Every structure is written in C-alpha cells, then in structure tokens.
Amino acid sequence: MRSGHGGNEKEMKQNHSRKRNHDNRGNHANYGNYTNYNEYVPGRKERANYYIASIAGLAFTGWLFFNSPVAMALLALLAYPLEKKWRKVRADARKKELAVQFKDMLFSLSASFQSGRHMREAIEEARENMREIYPAGAAINTELDLMSRRMGAGGESEREVLFDFAQRSGNEDARNFADVYYTCLTTGGDLCGVVNRTAEIILEKMTIRREIDTLMAQKKYEAKLLTIVPFMILLYLRFSSPAYLEQLYTTAFGICVMAAALGAIAAAFVWSDRIMAIEV
C-alpha cells in the first residue's frame, strides 16, 4: 500500500511540475519559475509572425535593390540573426513599462510606511492599489501577487523576494531600492524617509527621460523617414522608368552601387539608433 501511495504521489508531483513549466512558457523568459525581464521569449505564433514579416520585408528589399531571386533569398536569411535585435527591442519595451509601474508601486509603499506598516503589509496594500491603476495582466500586478504568495505560503523573507525581483527586472531603481531596504533593515535606518527620497529620485529620472523622449521624438521620426525615402524613390522608378534602373541591375558596377547604397542606408539607421539611445 505504501509503495502504491508513494508512486501515485510521485506521479502527481511530476504532473504538477510539467503543468507549472508549461504555464510559464509563452511571452516570457523564466528565471527559475519566474519571469526574467532581461530576456524576451516570444510564443510560437508571435515568432511565426515575426519571421513572416521580416522575410517578406527582406525579400522585398532584395527585389527592389537587386532584382534578383538570389539576392532575395540571401537577404531573407538575415531574418534569423535579426531576431536577436527584435527580442532585445521587445525586452527593453517591457522593462520600460515595468519601470513606470514600479514607480507607482514605490509611492504606494512609501504611503504605507508613513502609516506605520511593515514591508509585508505595505506590499499587500500596494497589491490592492496597483489593481485599481493597472489591468490584471500588468507585469506589476503579476509580480506583487507573486511576492505575496512567496512571503506567505512560500515562507520567503522580504529581502529574498525584493532582491529576486530586482535581479529579474533588470531595473536599476529596483536594485537600489532592495539594497537600501536591506541596509536600513540591518542598521535601523529611517526606512520611510529613505523610501520617500528614493521615490523622488526615480520620479526626477523619469521626468528627465520624458523630456528627452519628447525632444528626440522628432529626430527619430526624421531618421525613419530618411530611411524609407530611398525605398520609395526606387519603387517609383521601378514602375515609372524601369529602363532607367536596368544598368544597375544587369552590370557588375551597378550591382556594386546598389549594394553600397543599401549598406549605407543600413549603417545610417544603426548609427542614428545608437546616437538617440540616451540613458538617464
């Protein structure tokens, strides 16, 4: 009887483990069983949509610049290495969204500390407050639910939970907050005052970030427009004066000119993207 019961219990645990791993797959990379915001792992459908769009765009570029099936196929192969860049863009966007939500969470924690709450109570209050601000599927709501479960049923300490969140989020402000909280906890510092000051610093940084984004928005639009213009010109010539481009498609010199033009466009796009990637 014991052997049968032990076997059933082991099988139930294995099934639960498989179900938990399956539930954690999809739009997130997992840090253990928890979301790692430093990486972005798309679902099958999203990844398929990326490859369809990128291969179509790259093949179109090969047709437009070289009018060659070989060039279309070679450029389409770039979809695979470019996936890394696409994932980074998606991960950065998700981290930026989480940073905004973390700011609101921090203000909620500050208000709770001023009322004499401890960290666990403050997190529970922040959990309720964030549900009123953000939808149920928002990252901050998911993280606060996870913190509550880990500190409750999981029996983990506030320090472990906060440091784990800070590491997974890739957010410098979250890491600073976790360090400050642990320091105040061990030295008996003014936790309420430190949290308030940390919140003020984060708000100042986000204000500067918004001002920079506003100033750079027009420049980013101009950079994208300058990247698209050569494609529009070539497309217009392809349909209005195809004979005008014939030499560029049929001679070695013309192919070299088109390759140099495409390379210059790509280099200019990468260069402008790096210039406007200002960190605060």
Specify if 256 maps to a domain: no
Cα-flanking dihedrals φ and ψ of residue 130, to 5°?
A: -70, -30
CA–CA distance, 108 with 125 (Å, rounded to integer): 7
Specify if 279 maps to a domain: no
Specify if 130 maps to a domain: yes
Which pLDDT value is given to residue 14? Answer: 46
Which pLDDT value is given to residue 256? Answer: 96
Domain span holding position 116: 94-206
Q: Residues 187, 191, 193, 197: what is their CA dihedral angle, to the nearest 10 degrees?
A: 100
Specify if 227 maps to a domain: no
CA–CA distance, 46 with 26 (Å, rounded to integer): 9
Which pLDDT value is given to residue 223? Answer: 86
Which pLDDT value is given to residue 280? Answer: 58
For residue 208, the one-letter residue type is I
| β-bridge mates for residue 36, sequence order | 29
End-to-end CA distance of the chain: 64
Q: Is 135 helix (H, G, I), strand (E, B) or coil?
A: coil
Per-block mean pLDDT, blocks of 10 residues, the chain (280 long): 43 42 41 80 95 97 95 96 94 90 88 84 93 93 93 87 92 87 80 75 79 82 89 93 89 95 93 76
Specify if 116 maps to a domain: yes
Specify if 162 maps to a domain: yes
Whether pTM exceeds 0.85 = no
Specify if 58 maps to a domain: no
Total domain count for the chain?
1
